[in-house]
Amino acid sequence: MNLLLGITALVSIGVGFLWWYPFELLSHGRVYYFLGSLLITIGILCAWLAGIRWQGTLFFALALLAFNSVWILPWYLPNSHQGRGESLRIIEFNINIQNTQLTRVANLVEQQKPDIAVLIEISPPAMKELTKHLQATLPFAYRTRGGGLAVFSRFGLVNPQGKTLSAGTILTTSVKTATKNITLVAAHPSVPIKPDVFAKRNTALAEVTQYLGYE
């Protein structure tokens, strides 16, 4: 039990403060770290009730559970912005610049019935073909000249453009829905497989955050 608790603590806490490419991949397992720490805490509580008490272990398990809760629980708590006004269905995914199965991409988008679709790594030929496929359901489309970012929308796009930041290009546009205009921003940060690219990714996220603060 103590060994399992130690491993869970190392992984769930370490990915938040250390950088190494495998740790970066492990950061997507927050739900499992939470569930793991919850099960460990329940096991230790059962041991305590049975009279088996490891000094400090229960406190450590509860602290680990609280740490993982901070990352997970906000996702499931009621959001003050939910349920107000018009709702939109938005999908986003990276199709891969080398992807030639564009009909399947278009079919997948249509199956999801989105109001807005943001696709990443779109080449000019891919943009032309996808625009043709999606014309009936998402007639408004725009692709940035750099960065390979594209948006397809059921609603009109107002002033769509690509903005070049120091860490790359982002797509920004207003979308005129039935009741209001909303601002949409799309970005494609670098995959942090090396320390310098990791720093570039963080710079890109910081620049997007700063840009959103001005909007």
Q: Please give the model's pTM, rounded to 2 decimal places.
A: 0.65
Rounded CA gap, 215 and 204, in Å? Answer: 17
Collapsing DSSP states into helix, strand and coil, what is residue 169?
Answer: strand
Q: In angstroms, what CA-CA distances link 183 with 15, 52, 104, 151, 175?
A: 32, 57, 29, 12, 6
Q: In angstroms, what CA-CA distances link 104 with 20, 120, 141?
A: 35, 15, 18
Contact 151, 142 (CB under 8 A): yes
| b/e sequence 53-91, b meaning 16+ C-beta within 10 Å | eeeebeebbeebbebbeeeeeeeeeeeeeeeeeeeeeee
Rounded CA gap, 3 and 132, in Å? Answer: 57
Which residues of the chain form beta strands (DSSP E)?
90-94, 116-120, 140-143, 149-153, 156-165, 168-176, 181-186
Residue 17: the pLDDT is: 47
Contact 149, 120 (CB under 8 A): yes
* Sheet arrangement for strand 168-176: 156-165, 168-176, 181-186
How would residue 82 be classed by pLDDT, with cut points 50, 70 and 90?
low
Please write the tens of the pLDDT for every residue from 117-130: 999 999 999 999 99
Contact 118, 90 (CB under 8 A): yes
Rounded CA gap, 11 and 122, in Å? Answer: 35
Percentage of the chain beyond pLDDT 70 is: 80
Please write the tens of the pLDDT for every residue from 42-66: 888 888 788 777 767 777 778 878 8
Please write the tens of the pLDDT for every residue from 98-123: 888 999 999 999 999 999 999 999 99
Q: In angstroms, what CA-CA distances link 120 with 89, 123, 161, 186?
A: 18, 9, 15, 9
Residue 198: the pLDDT is: 75
Q: In angstroms, what CA-CA distances link 116 with 6, 160, 196?
A: 44, 14, 33
